[in-house]
Structure 1
Amino acid sequence: MEGDSVTLTPNDADIKGENLIMWRFGHNSLIVKINRNDNKRQFPDERFRDRLKLDQTGSLTITNTRITDSGLYQVLGTSKDTPVSIFNITVYAHLPVPVISNSSSSSQQNCSLLCSVVNVSDVTLSWYKGNSLLSSISVSDLNRSLSLHLECLDDSYSCVVNNPISNQTQHLDLSQITWSDCHCCGSTEAAI
């Protein structure tokens, strides 16, 4: 999660006997190296300034992680031409609570609710009635809404935004929505 710390620990057998240990981000960007003979460390990549810790064993800790830290990390020793350990890291943003609003207009005879999230990517946005999924959409862009057309209203609807490690839920509060133009009763229909 964005803001957390992560420690990447190479296999001891892979770096045993290596005097110089190097970490790369992506395929070419050297981010840190340590000479284990004199314990001298170098941090040539400014993107990680003051956020990297490298211990004598070769373990790398990234503090205050950012979404841009997502990617491939490789450990190299001086005696091998290929990486001895590879880590693929994904950093997820904190999720906002979705917003539910009335999207009905005076020209519509049905009630429509809109669930919106902004400034998020790679999430799923879903409508539920109780524990039953009504509709869902995968969102890869930063601003997205999911519409739900209703013919019956009660407080059992909720909108959920989630990614693989967290979720946020907004429950429908009928007292917060203006329904003057809606004429509601009958069945429920979900639409994306």
Structure 2
Amino acid sequence: MNFGVCAGDEVKSVSVMEGDSVTLHADTEILSAHLILWRFETNGTLIAKINKDTNKTSIYADVLDGRFRDRLQVNNQTGDLIITNITTQHTGLYQLTISGKQKALHTFNVTLYARLPIPLISIYSPQNSSSISNCLLLCSVLNVKDVRLSWYKGNSLLSSISVSDLNIRLSLPLEVEYQDTNTYSCVLNNPITNQTQHLNITHLCQPCSHTTGVINSAYLLI
């Protein structure tokens, strides 16, 4: 049985961080239901069942080579499905079938986001640069996808760049004066979380060390 999204069937998008738990909420139709079925997208594989008539709850954790083993819970009062310690193997479409006086179908699309690294701020000097009054900085991250990298001055956005691919270096430059006393930060974010690196200009930007090539890089947490 290969299920898809039927016409008129609203798909509920659910985002979750890798390693966290996610709860897929059933509808109030559960109150009058006598049979609740949860299926996962691979051939519409049955992974959980609640039979209200027999008051029995079944979890089929060994299907699909055991990918759901020790990860599934079902609330037999609400019909909610809980997936713990989620990985990429558990992303995709989930379908809930509620059978009672009427039959209802609900589809959930679970999207996984990786935990984000802290951006790296480094000082650099392009070969064609002759600036002696400004500090040239680069904020970078490696091996991330579906993220946005941004420079902020206080709470004001200065610039940003986004990427959807993995295995590339994402970098964003910033130029500040050596004596600048403003607060700057580099923020890496996806739709559900973010990581921030604050810039310590006094620590990182030294006029006497501004020569060609990358001079210094460090995680400057304040």
Shift of 1:177: 4.9
Paired AA for residue 150 in structure 1: E
2:6 alignment partner in structure 1: none
Compared with structure 1, are the counterparts of its residues 169 and 84 closer, same or farther at alpha carbon in structure 2 (3 Å cutoff)? Answer: same
Aligned equivalents of 1:15, 1:6: Cα separation in 2: 22
Quick check: 1:54 aligned with 2:81?
no
Secondary structure of the equivalent of 1:13? Answer: helix
Secondary structure of the equivalent of 1:146? Answer: strand
1:124 alignment partner in structure 2: 148
User: Does the CA contact (< 8 Å) of 1:126 and 1:146 recur in 2?
Assistant: no
Aligned equivalents of 2:50, 2:172: Cα separation in 1: 57
Q: 2:60 aligns with which of 22, 42, 54?
A: 42
Compared with structure 1, are the counterparts of its residues 151 and 159 closer, same or farther at alpha carbon in structure 2 (3 Å cutoff)? Answer: closer
Shift of 1:77: 5.0
Aligned equivalents of 1:9, 1:132: Cα separation in 2: 37
Aligned equivalents of 2:195, 2:174: Cα separation in 1: 22
Quick check: 1:181 aligned with 2:202?
no
| 1:13-32 correspondence runs (5 A) | 13=29, 16-19=32-35, 21-26=36-41, 28-32=43-47
Runs of 4+ with deviation above 4 angstroms: none
Q: TM-score, normalised by structure 1?
A: 0.76
Secondary structure of the equivalent of 2:197? Answer: strand
User: Does the CA contact (< 8 Å) of 1:15 and 1:84 recur in 2?
Assistant: no
List gaps (5 residues or longer) in structure 1. Answer: 183-192
Paired AA for residue 169 in structure 1: T
Aligned equivalents of 1:181, 1:28: Cα separation in 2: 60
2:160 alignment partner in structure 1: 136
| 1:67-106 correspondence runs (5 A) | 67-76=88-97, 84-105=105-126
Identity of aligned residues (%): 47
Q: 1:64 aligns with which of 77, 85, 88?
A: 85
Compared with structure 1, are the counterparts of its residues 29 and 116 closer, same or farther at alpha carbon in structure 2 (3 Å cutoff)? Answer: farther
Length, aligned pairs only: 181
Secondary structure of the equivalent of 2:29? Answer: helix
Secondary structure of the equivalent of 2:67? Answer: helix
Compared with structure 1, are the counterparts of its residues 13 and 105 closer, same or farther at alpha carbon in structure 2 (3 Å cutoff)? Answer: closer
User: Does the CA contact (< 8 Å) of 1:15 and 1:77 recur in 2?
Assistant: no
Shift of 1:24: 2.0
1:159 alignment partner in structure 2: 186
